[in-house]
């Protein structure tokens, strides 16, 4: 399980970049851009699919591989960004869920779409 631990992965990514002298490229600004580029590659897989086709994307091994690969790339840049900024991603997410539980109470009348379009 060590292999799969977030901190261990973050360390492997840092060692990987250091061994290749890539740190000068890894400014927070560049890592945020790289993250958004990988997120777009994920979007690209789905861009012409109907909602129904998108729900079955893992049934096709070629699509499944591509999606899994892009997920890994997004996570890699997210963890590298957190590393250079000293952010604990899991703690940030736990705190955000706490806030969202206040912000969107269960059983409130409004559905997701109108709320998001008015509030954001």
Distance (Å, whole) CA 46 – CA 70: 12
Q: By CB under 8 A, is residue 103 in contact with a second copy?
A: no
14-33: which residues touch a second copy (CB under 8 A)? 16, 19-22, 25, 27-30, 32-33
Instruction: Sketch the per residue contact string, 49 through 88, with a second copy: x for CB under 8 A, - otherwise.
Output: xxx--xx-xx---xx---xxx-xxxxxx-xx-xx-xxxxx
How many whole angstroms separate alpha carbon 76 and alpha carbon 37? 12
The one among 61, 97, 102, 109 contacting a second copy by CB under 8 A: 97
Contact (Cβ atoms closer than 8 angstroms) between residue 34 and residue 88 = no
Q: State in angstroms the smallest separation of the CB of 108 from a second copy.
A: 8
* Least separation in angstroms between CB 44 and a second copy: 5
We find the least distance from the C-beta atom of residue 120 to a second copy, in angstroms, to be: 7
- In the complex, what is the shortest distance from the CB of residue 100 to a second copy, in angstroms, rounded to a whole number? 7
b (16+ CB within 10 A) / e for 49-67: eeeeeeeeeeeeeebeebb
Q: What are phi and psi of 27, to 5 degrees?
A: -70, 155
């Amino acid at each position: 399980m060590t292999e799969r631990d977030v901190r261990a992965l973050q360390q492997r990514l840092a060692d990987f970049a250091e061994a290749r002298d890539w740190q000068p490229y890894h400014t927070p600004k560049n890592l945020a851009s790289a993250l958004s580029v990988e997120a777009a590659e994920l979007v690209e897989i789905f861009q012409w699919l109907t909602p129904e086709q998108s729900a079955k994307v893992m049934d096709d091994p070629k699509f499944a591989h591509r999606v899994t690969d892009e997920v890994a790339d997004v996570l890699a840049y997210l963890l590298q960004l957190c590393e250079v900024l000293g952010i604990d991603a899991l703690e940030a997410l736990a705190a955000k869920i706490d806030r969202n539980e206040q912000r969107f109470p269960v059983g409130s009348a409004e559905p997701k779409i109108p709320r998001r379009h008015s509030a954001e």
